[in-house]
Structure 1
Amino acid sequence: MASSKRHQKSFNMMHSENLENRRINRKINKLKVEMAEISEQQEYIKLGQKEMRERFEAIDSECDQLKKETEQISHASENVQLRLNIMLNILKAQQANDFAKAADLTCSLGLV
């Protein structure tokens, strides 16, 4: 009888170990699936980050280009304003019959 109890106890331990091994294997398989999903999500995030970085670089490049164009427009506007001021002074000099000054201003207009 003692032998049969030992045999039963041994059987129960093996059965318990098999159950425990199956539980562990299920957990391992579940973790593998979760790790694969996480890996896929990380790739998706990396792709999104790359796209965002490219968009920001494009926006930054456009911003630099707009800044250059704005500076060129501002410089051109300053030149136009300067020329208009000289033309106004030419008209004032002509009205005052100061033709020498008007001639000098006309020459300077060609330099601007």
Structure 2
Amino acid sequence: MVARSMIKEEKKKPKMKSLKTRVQRMKVEMGKIREDQRCIREEQLIIGERFGVVARQCHELRLETQVMVEQSTFNRVRLGIMVNILRARQDGEFDKAAVLTAALASVSDGKKL
């Protein structure tokens, strides 16, 4: 009977060693995983900052584009009035040309028609 109990103890010892080894290995792996997660969080922060910069630039470009569209529309209105003034003068309609000239002046001053 002594022999059997010794065999059982011998069998238990390698299992304990392998369990300790596995636990140690898992701790090392968990440490690596923690480090990887830390790196990932840092990269996410950097990417988030870059995204914020890009979003601000996009907003600025939209505003600039809107201003350009408004200026283009304003210029087209002014050119249209100028063309009508020239036609009115060619046709001898000086009263109409005077009204259009006043309209052009008010549009150029930023006033509405």
TM (norm. structure 2) is: 0.86
Amino-acid identity (%): 33
Runs of 5+ consecutive residues of structure 1 not aligned to the other structure: none
- Partner secondary structure for residue 97 of structure 1: coil
Q: Output the amino acid matched with 1:98.
A: E
Q: Distance in 1 between matches of 2:60 and 2:101?
A: 36
1:35-91 CA distances to partner (integer Å, 9 max, x unpaired)? Answer: 011111111111222222222222122111111111110000000010011111111
Q: Is the counterpart of residue 109 in structure 1 residue 104 in structure 2?
A: yes
Give the aligned partner of residue 27 of structure 2.
32
Q: Which of 23, 28, 44 pairs up with 2:18?
A: 23
Q: Which of 64, 87, 98 pairs up with 2:93?
A: 98
Q: Output the amino acid matched with 2:65.
A: T
Q: Which has the larger radius of gyration?
A: 1
Runs of 5+ consecutive residues of structure 2 not aligned to the other structure: 108-113
Paired residues, number? 107
Q: Distance in 2 between matches of 1:81 and 1:19?
A: 90
1:12-47 CA distances to partner (integer Å, 9 max, x unpaired)? Answer: 332222221111110000000000111111111112
